[in-house]
């Protein structure tokens, strides 16, 4: 009898799903449940007490009822059901792309990021597939089940419209619930929406839908600020930059004057890889030797400072001397029309040819537009290479092929040149074809961590081959090669799997350890130089441009750059992270918690130390705020350094780079300084030796490259 009563009760409840109110309730409950799956399985919201747990349980309800309840205003069934399904699908899509994004970036998608990624038209699909998980079916299963139940008439279509007063009541109840939700959030985190907090806080207290709307309003506000910006707003920025200017080291200023500059951008390459052994094998044997060479200045306390823009943020700091944006990518959001006084233009106006070599499509990160505004004359993207078959990975041409295939373009550039190579093989999800590497990976139980060492080893081999060519072609002796890591490869969510390999107990791993792993390599290698060493100065990517320019004998005083020369005795060693955390030789700040680098323990500063810590935080905040103001308001359009000519992007066309270079060679004739011309108009491609299996090279003694002397990069 009891079972029969329960069955009858269930039937009555289920029958209500046949009404419009019942159908809305069903979808709201199902969406609430899968949002909780995201909150507790995929997102790391940092719940610290039962009150926050309660808020997280409640916060999806108000916005979901508000959105789904809009369908109640539609009278006809043929409009009501498709509309509410569309709302459900779009909201599920928003939830799911945030799940995928969070797994890689430990962050949430902003409106700026979404708009920016509309210009990033490929490459993400492969990475997204690797970020999927079996339980992801739960995010879409409810939609399929409900649709099937409707098609099989287990849920009936209700032709009866809902009274408008009911719709208004639902909307009012949703708004009231949201107000309560906001009040609870403010109780636990005062000034939640008026102060600058981590995006995780907004999602934790108000939910993903509310965060997206809030972020969209902020983005619109930024657009409004940009349109009303005034020249007078530069005054504070000028004072800050001039006050923090660091004069160059006189002994090193101009040490590489008039040399070629070759920048090698190490994708996702962290400092711990240097000198690291796995299963008795050196992960990066060539870079290890280069790192310790007397021809190299290396830095072991150098940090990436990227935000959501990751690789493009690293490029922003390298080229412009300003930080990436607090949200999204500067390249994709502002790259089309922002004014820059960047390295490519500065070097070009000093007589350098400027070019980028990258085996991905030019539209990725909106580079094909941004590079023109930066002042790059040439951009050899994927359209210049054969990327067919297994020659390419998810993010473009494999590194060995990029370096090899770029020779036919590099050799035609007039010297001196400023060129940048963007590698991609050491990119998440760190996959290589089996024939590309026989490196024996560790067994941490985390495939991402294990394969990271294999792709890093492949990248190391690629650079070794490229150096062999530089020596054989004669470029090495007349070049400064700058090598740097752009950002982390192993995300914080996988760091505990990495801990054992670093000699740390995973149970002891904490936020301080995560912060220390944000070190990436920085090397200035000048073949033939003999005074290099490993520097222990603290610095970040924002400091690269002034350091490089001073080595080249170029003054930075007239430019608005937020970093300082790493070799200068006046260099400020406080390293700002994009989320306003920071590093310094003595202390580390993570989410407002201060750690002593000496003890690796949390401290609570008082007295003079508290004042010192506050001064460091103020310096970080000012730099980030002024940089954001400069870029978001495009204030450089009001600033005209003496001797610098504003860049006109219309001057550049990247579709015929080789033809333009060859045409210039012929025009210059005997005065041409290209490697091709200096080689008697003969190609240097034959000097390049690679064991890339895609080129069907046999492994012979002639193409194996051996380096036994750390100061000998000749490959002999």
Average pLDDT over residues 40-60: 90
- Residue 596, pLDDT > 50, answer yes
Judged against a pLDDT cut of 50, whether residue 234 lies above it is answered with yes
CA distances from 559 to 126, 547, 548 (A): 40, 13, 14
CA distances from 56 to 34, 208, 350, 638 (A): 13, 11, 57, 46
> In whole angstroms, how large is the CA radius of gyration of the chain?
28
pLDDT tens by residue, 308-361: 889 999 999 999 999 999 888 899 888 888 999 999 999 999 999 999 999 998
Helix (H) or strand (E) holding 59: helix 50-68
pLDDT at 398 over 50: yes
* Sheet of strand 593-596, all strands in order from the earlier edge strand to the far edge: 575-576, 582-583, 587-590, 593-596, 602-603
> CB–CB of 317/323 below 8 Å?
yes
**Selection from 306, 298, 300, 294 nearest residue 272 by Cα:** 300
SS3 536: strand
Tell me the average pLDDT of the chain: 90
Dihedral in degrees, nearest 10, Cα atoms 208, 210, 214, 220: 90
Q: Is 481 in a helix, a strand, or coil?
A: strand
What pLDDT shows up at residue 128?
A: 65
Query: Is domain 234-573+616-651 annotated with CATH 3.20.20.80?
Result: no
Res 15: pLDDT: 57
Q: How far apart are the first and last CA of the chain?
A: 90
139-153, 235-249, 287-301, 324-338: which has the minimum mean pLDDT?
Answer: 324-338
Distance (Å, whole) CA 364 – CA 124: 10
Answer with the residue of higher pLDDT: 390 or 611. 611
Alpha carbons within 13 A on the beta-carbon side of 110? 26
Residue 2 has pLDDT above 80, yes or no: no
**pLDDT given at position 120:** 45
DSSP 716: -
pLDDT of 255 reads 97
Which pLDDT score, from 0 to 100, does residue 105 have? 65
pLDDT bin (cut points 50, 70, 90) of residue 9 is low
Reported as a single tens digit per residue, the pLDDT across 72-106 is 999 999 999 999 999 999 999 999 999 998 887 67
Q: How confident is the model at residue 221 (pLDDT cuts 50, 70, 90)?
A: confident
Of 6-20, 114-128, 169-183, 321-335, where does mean pLDDT reach its minimum?
114-128
Res 496 pLDDT > 60: yes
pLDDT at 357: 98
Burial class of residue 32, CB neighbours in 10 A (0-12, 13-18, 19+): middle
Contacts of residue 652, Cβ cutoff 8 Å, sequence gap at least 6:
371, 372, 376, 377
Helices within 228-351 (DSSP H only): 234-243, 285-292, 310-320, 330-334, 343-348
Annotated binding site: 267, 311, 427, 486-487
Express each pLDDT in 419-474 by its tens digit.
999 999 999 888 888 889 999 999 988 898 999 999 999 999 999 999 999 999 99
Tell me: pLDDT of 517 over 80. Answer: yes
pLDDT at 702 over 60: no
Q: Do the strands 479-485 and 522-525 form a parallel or antiparallel pair, or are they unpaired?
A: antiparallel
Helix, strand, coil percentages, rounded to 5, for the chain: 50, 10, 40
The pLDDT of residue 8 is 57
Q: What is the mean pLDDT of residues 529-548?
A: 98
The rounded distance, in Å, linking the Cα atoms of 332 and 669 is 40
Whether 122 shows a pLDDT value over 70: the answer reads no
Residues contributing to the annotated binding site for Mn(2+):
267, 311, 486-487
Count of Cβ atoms closer than 10 Å to residue 85 Cβ? 16
Residue 109 pLDDT class (50, 70, 90 cuts): confident
Give 303's contacts (C-beta < 8 A, 6+ positions apart).
Answer: 518, 519, 520, 538, 539, 540, 541, 575, 577, 583
What is the spatial distance between Cα 469 and Cα 437, in angstroms, rounded to a whole number?
21
Instruction: Identify the band that residue 701 occupies on the pLDDT scale cut at 50, 70 and 90.
Output: very low
pLDDT digits (tens, 9 = 90+) for 544-556: 999 999 999 999 9
Q: At 425, phi and psi to the nearest 5?
A: -65, -30
Going by pLDDT thresholds of 50, 70 and 90, the confidence category of residue 5 is low
Binned at pLDDT 50, 70 and 90, residue 260 comes out as very high
pLDDT bin (cut points 50, 70, 90) of residue 363 is: confident
- What backbone torsions phi and psi does residue 680 show, to the nearest 5 degrees? 70, 35
pLDDT for 698 equals 46
User: Which residues are the active-site residues?
Assistant: 311
pLDDT for res 533: 97
Label residue 11 left, alpha or beta by phi (over 0 means left) and psi (-120 to 50 means alpha). Answer: alpha
pLDDT score at 194: 62
> What pLDDT shows up at residue 111?
77
Region 515-523 average pLDDT: 97
**Where is pLDDT greater, at 164 or 5?**
164
**pLDDT class for 216, splitting at 50, 70, 90?**
confident
Domain boundaries, the chain: 1-226, 234-573+616-651
pLDDT: which is higher, 637 or 114: 637
Q: Is 412 exposed, middle or buried (0-12, 13-18, 19+ CB in 10 A)?
A: buried
């Amino acid at each position: 009898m009891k079972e029969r009563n329960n069955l009858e009760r269930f039937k009555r409840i289920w029958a209500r799903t046949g009404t419009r109110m019942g159908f809305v309730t069903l979808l709201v409950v199902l969406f609430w449940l899968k949002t909780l799956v995201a909150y507790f399985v995929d997102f790391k919201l940092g719940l610290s007490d039962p009150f926050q747990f309660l808020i997280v349980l409640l916060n999806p309800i108000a916005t979901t009822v508000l959105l789904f309840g809009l369908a109640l205003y539609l009278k006809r069934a043929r409009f009501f059901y498709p509309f509410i399904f569309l709302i459900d699908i779009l909201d599920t899509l928003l939830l799911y792309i945030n799940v995928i994004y969070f797994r890689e970036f430990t962050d949430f998608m902003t409106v700026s990021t979404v708009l920016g990624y509309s210009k990033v038209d490929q490459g993400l699909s492969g990475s997204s597939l690797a970020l999927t998980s079996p339980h992801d079916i739960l995010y879409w299963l409810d939609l399929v089940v409900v649709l099937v139940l409707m098609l099989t008439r287990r849920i009936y279509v209700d032709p009866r419209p809902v009274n408008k007063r009911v719709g208004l009541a639902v909307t009012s109840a949703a708004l009231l619930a949201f107000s309560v939700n906001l009040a609870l959030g403010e109780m636990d985190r005062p000034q939640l929406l008026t102060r600058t907090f981590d995006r995780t806080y907004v999602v934790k207290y108000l939910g993903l839908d509310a965060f997206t709307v809030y972020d969209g309003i902020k983005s619109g506000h930024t657009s409004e600020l940009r349109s009303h910006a005034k020249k007078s707003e530069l005054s504070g920025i000028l004072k800050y930059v001039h006050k923090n200017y660091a004069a160059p080291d006189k002994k090193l200023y101009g040490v590489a004057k008039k040399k070629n500059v070759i920048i090698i951008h190490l994708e996702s390459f962290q400092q711990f890889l240097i000198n690291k052994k796995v299963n008795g094998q050196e992960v990066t044997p060539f870079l290890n030797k280069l790192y310790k060479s007397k021809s190299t200045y290396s830095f072991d306390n150098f940090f990436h400072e990227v935000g959501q823009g990751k690789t493009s943020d690293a490029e922003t700091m390298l080229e412009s001397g300003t930080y990436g944006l607090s949200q999204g990518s500067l390249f994709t959001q502002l790259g089309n029309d922002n004014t820059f006084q960047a390295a490519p233009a500065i070097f070009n106006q000093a007589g350098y040819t400027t070019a980028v070599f990258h085996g991905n499509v030019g539209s990725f990160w909106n580079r094909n537009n941004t590079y023109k505004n930066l002042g790059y004359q040439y951009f050899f993207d994927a359209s210049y290479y054969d990327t067919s078959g297994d020659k390419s990975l998810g993010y473009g041409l494999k590194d060995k092929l990029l370096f090899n295939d770029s020779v036919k373009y590099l050799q035609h550039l007039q010297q001196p040149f400023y060129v940048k190579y963007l590698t991609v093989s050491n990119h998440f999800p760190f996959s290589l074809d089996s024939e590309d590497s026989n490196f024996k990976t560790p067994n941490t139980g985390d495939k991402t961590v294990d394969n990271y060492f294999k792709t890093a080893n492949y990248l190391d081999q690629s650079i070794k081959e490229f150096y062999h060519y530089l020596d054989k072609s004669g470029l090495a002796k007349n070049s400064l090669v700058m090598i740097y890591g752009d950002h982390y490869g192993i995300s914080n969510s996988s760091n505990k799997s990495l801990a054992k390999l670093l000699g740390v107990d995973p149970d002891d791993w904490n936020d301080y350890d995560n912060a220390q792993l944000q070190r990436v390599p920085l090397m200035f290698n000048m073949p033939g130089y003999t005074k290099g060493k490993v520097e222990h100065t603290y610095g970040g990517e924002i400091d690269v441009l002034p350091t490089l320019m001073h080595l080249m004998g170029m003054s930075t005083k007239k430019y608005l750059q937020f970093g300082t020369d790493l070799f200068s005795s006046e260099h400020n060693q406080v390293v700002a992270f994009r989320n306003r955390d920071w590093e310094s030789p003595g202390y580390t700040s993570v989410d407002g918690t201060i750690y002593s680098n000496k003890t690796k323990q949390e401290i609570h500063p008082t007295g003079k130390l508290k004042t010192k810590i506050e001064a460091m935080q103020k310096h970080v905040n000012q730099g980030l705020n002024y940089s954001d103001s400069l870029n978001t308001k495009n204030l450089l359009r009001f600033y005209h350094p003496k001797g610098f000519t504003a860049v006109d992007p219309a001057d550049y066309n990247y579709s015929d780079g080789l033809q333009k270079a060859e045409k210039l060679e012929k025009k210059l004739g005997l005065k041409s300084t290209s490697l091709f011309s200096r080689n008697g108009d003969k190609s240097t491609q034959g000097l390049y030796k690679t064991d890339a299996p895609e080129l069907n090279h046999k492994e012979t003694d002639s193409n194996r490259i051996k380096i036994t002397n750390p100061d000998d990069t000749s490959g002999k």
